[in-house]
C-alpha cells in the first residue's frame, strides 16, 4: 500500500481522495477544514491536515513521507506548489492547470530525478492521452476537441453552474486562446468565434475559443491544424463577454467578481450535471471520440469530478506501477504515447462507468 499525499480537497479533490483510498494510504491536505472533515466523515481511513499551499516549508514537511504527490489546487497557486514538490524530489501528478508553462520546470525535475505529469484531467487530459497514442500510429493532419461541464437544468441568467473553482472558470473567459492554423500558432481572444453546435446526448450548445491546447502547441507542432472550444448553453457567452467588456474580469475586480459569481454558480448538493467531450483526430484515419457522463447518483459524485479526478488518479497509478517512469515534466500526450498507459486509462475510466466511444468517420 503506497502513501499518496494529496493537496486540494475541493469538488474534484474529494472524488480523487476517495478513489485512491480504496487501494492506498491517503494523506489529504487543504486550507479548508470543513472540506477535510466532510471527506473524513465518508472515509475515516483518510488522514487529513490543514495546510496553506503557499507555505513552502509546510508543504515540504507535509509531503516528506510521500511515495507520490497529487496536486489539485486553483490554477493561480499551482506553479509554485509544483515547483516546491519537485524540489522535494517527489513524483507528482498535477491537475491545477496553472497559467504558467509548467514544462519550464523540466530541467528542475530532471535535476531532482522526478517524474511529473501535468494537466492530467478531463480536458486538457483525456484528449492529450488519445492524441499522443495516435501520434505514434499515423501522421496526423488535424486535431480538435470541444468540452463542457454543465448543469442538467440550466437557469437564467447564466444557464451555468461551476463544477470547479469559479476563478479558474473565469480564466477561460480571459486567457487568450492559442491555436494552430496551417502550421502557425494563432492567438485569438477568449470567447471568440462563437458558434452553435449540435452535440450528441445534449442538443444545441454554443462553443467559443479557449486556451485548452496548452502543451500541444509545443509538443505537437508537426500537426498543422489544432483547436479547442469550450461549450456552454446558448446565451451564456454573450453575458460573459459583456462582463469582460465592463472590466469585471480585470485584475482589480476579479476577486469580487469571482465571489459574486460563486454565489450564482455553486452547484447545489447532489445537483444533476453532466460533462460532454468530443474529439476529432484526422490523418490516415478519421477518428472520433465521444464522452458523455452525468452526476453519479450512487456515489453522489459530480461528472466533472469523476472525469477529471479519475483521469488524475489513473495517472497516479500509472506512475506507482512504473507504467511510466521517465524523468522530467510531461504533459499527458507524452504519457499517452505509451499504449500501455492509454489502454490503462480507458480501462480505469470504464470500470468507473465513464464511457468513451470511438468510431471511424
> What's the pLDDT tens digit per position in 304-320?
999 999 999 999 999 99
pTM for the whole structure: 0.95
Q: How far apart are CA 202 and CA 198, in angstroms?
A: 8
Residue 181 sits in the same domain as residue 284: yes
Which range (179-188, 253-262, 293-302) has the least confidence?
253-262
In a domain, 348, yes or no: no
Instruction: Supply the pLDDT for residue 262.
Output: 84
Residue 114 sits in the same domain as residue 155: no
Q: What is the CATH number of the domain that holds 298?
A: 3.30.360.10
pLDDT digit string, tens, across residues 240-277: 999 999 999 998 998 899 888 888 888 888 899 999 99
pLDDT at 49 over 90: yes
Residue 253 sits in the same domain as residue 175: yes
The range of the structural domain enclosing residue 83 comes to 3-118
Last residue of a domain, one of 93, 118, 143: 118
Q: What percent of the chain has pLDDT over 90?
A: 90
Last residue of a domain, one of 72, 88, 118: 118
Sign for the pseudo-dihedral over CA of 296, 10, 347, 334: positive
Q: Which three cell numbers stand for residue 149?
A: 461541464
In a domain, 169, yes or no: yes
Q: For the chain, how many structural domains are there in total?
A: 2
* Nearest CA-CA partner of 215 in 239, 185, 193, 195: 185
Give me the residue label for grid cell 501522421. 139
Q: How far apart are CA 224 and CA 137, in angstroms?
A: 17
Residue 171 — pLDDT band, cuts 50, 70, 90?
A: confident
pLDDT at 165 over 70: no
Residue 108 sits in the same domain as residue 162: no
Residue 93 sits in the same domain as residue 187: no
Q: What is the CATH number of the domain that holds 36?
A: 3.40.50.720
In a domain, 336, yes or no: no
Residue 194 sits in the same domain as residue 213: yes
- Provide CB contacts within 8 A for 155, sequence distance 6+: none
Residue 53 sits in the same domain as residue 145: no
pLDDT at 166 over 80: no
In a domain, 322, yes or no: no
In a domain, 181, yes or no: yes
pLDDT digit string, tens, across residues 89-100: 999 999 999 999
Residue 188 sits in the same domain as residue 245: yes
In a domain, 296, yes or no: yes
Q: At what angle do helices 11-20 and 33-42 cross, to 10 degrees?
A: 40
Residue 94 sits in the same domain as residue 157: no
Residue 67 DSSP SS3:
coil
Residue 92 sits in the same domain as residue 148: no
pLDDT digit string, tens, across residues 56-115: 999 999 999 999 999 999 999 999 999 999 999 999 999 999 999 999 999 999 999 999
Residue 130 sits in the same domain as residue 277: yes
Residue 78 sits in the same domain as residue 195: no
Query: Beta-strand (E) ranges in 87-172?
Result: 92-94, 115-118, 140-151
In a domain, 350, yes or no: no
First to last CA, the chain: 44
Report how far Cα 275 is from the mean position of its chain's Cα atoms. 12
168 versus 213: the higher-pLDDT residue is 213
In a domain, 275, yes or no: yes
Amino acid at each position: 500500500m503506497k502513501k499518496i499525499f494529496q493537496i486540494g480537497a475541493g469538488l474534484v479533490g474529494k472524488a480523487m481522495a476517495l478513489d485512491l483510498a480504496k487501494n492506498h494510504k491517503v494523506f489529504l491536505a487543504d486550507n479548508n477544514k470543513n472540506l477535510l472533515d466532510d471527506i473524513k466523515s465518508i472515509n475515516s481511513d483518510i488522514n487529513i491536515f490543514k495546510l496553506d499551499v503557499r507555505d513552502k516549508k509546510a508543504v515540504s514537511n507535509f509531503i516528506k513521507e510521500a511515495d507520490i504527490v497529487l496536486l489539485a489546487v486553483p490554477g493561480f497557486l499551482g506553479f509554485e506548489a509544483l515547483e516546491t514538490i519537485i524540489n522535494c524530489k517527489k513524483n507528482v501528478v498535477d491537475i491545477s492547470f496553472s497559467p504558467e508553462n509548467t514544462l519550464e520546470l523540466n530541467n528542475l525535475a530532471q535535476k531532482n530525478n522526478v517524474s511529473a505529469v501535468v494537466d492530467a484531467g478531463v480536458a486538457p487530459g483525456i484528449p492529450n492521452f488519445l492524441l499522443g497514442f495516435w501520434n505514434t500510429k499515423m501522421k496526423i493532419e488535424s486535431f480538435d476537441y470541444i468540452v463542457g461541464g454543465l448543469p442538467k437544468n440550466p437557469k437564467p441568467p447564466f444557464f451555468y453552474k461551476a463544477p470547479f473553482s469559479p476563478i479558474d472558470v473565469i480564466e477561460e473567459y480571459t486567457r487568450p486562446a492559442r491555436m494552430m492554423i496551417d502550421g502557425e500558432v494563432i492567438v485569438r481572444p477568449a470567447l471568440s468565434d462563437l458558434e452553435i453546435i449540435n452535440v450528441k446526448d445534449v442538443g444545441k450548445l454554443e462553443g467559443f475559443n479557449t486556451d485548452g491546447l496548452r502543451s500541444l502547441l509545443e509538443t505537437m507542432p508537426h500537426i498543422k491544424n489544432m483547436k479547442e472550444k469550450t461549450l456552454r448553453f446558448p446565451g451564456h457567452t454573450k453575458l460573459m463577454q459583456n462582463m469582460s467588456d465592463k472590466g469585471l474580469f480585470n485584475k482589480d475586480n476579479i476577486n469580487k467578481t469571482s465571489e459574486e459569481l460563486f454565489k450564482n454558480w455553486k452547484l447545489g448538493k447532489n445537483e444533476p450535471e453532466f460533462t460532454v467531450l468530443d474529439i476529432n483526430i484526422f490523418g490516415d484515419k478519421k477518428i472520433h471520440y465521444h464522452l458523455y457522463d452525468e452526476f453519479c447518483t450512487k456515489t453522489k459524485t459530480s461528472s466533472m469530478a469523476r472525469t477529471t479526478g479519475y483521469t488524475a488518479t489513473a495517472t497516479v497509478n500509472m506512475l506507482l506501477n512504473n507504467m511510466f517512469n521517465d524523468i522530467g515534466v510531461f504533459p499527458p500526450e507524452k504519457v499517452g504515447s505509451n499504449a500501455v498507459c492509454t489502454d490503462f486509462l480507458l480501462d480505469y475510466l470504464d470500470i468507473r462507468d465513464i464511457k468513451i466511444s470511438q468510431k471511424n468517420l
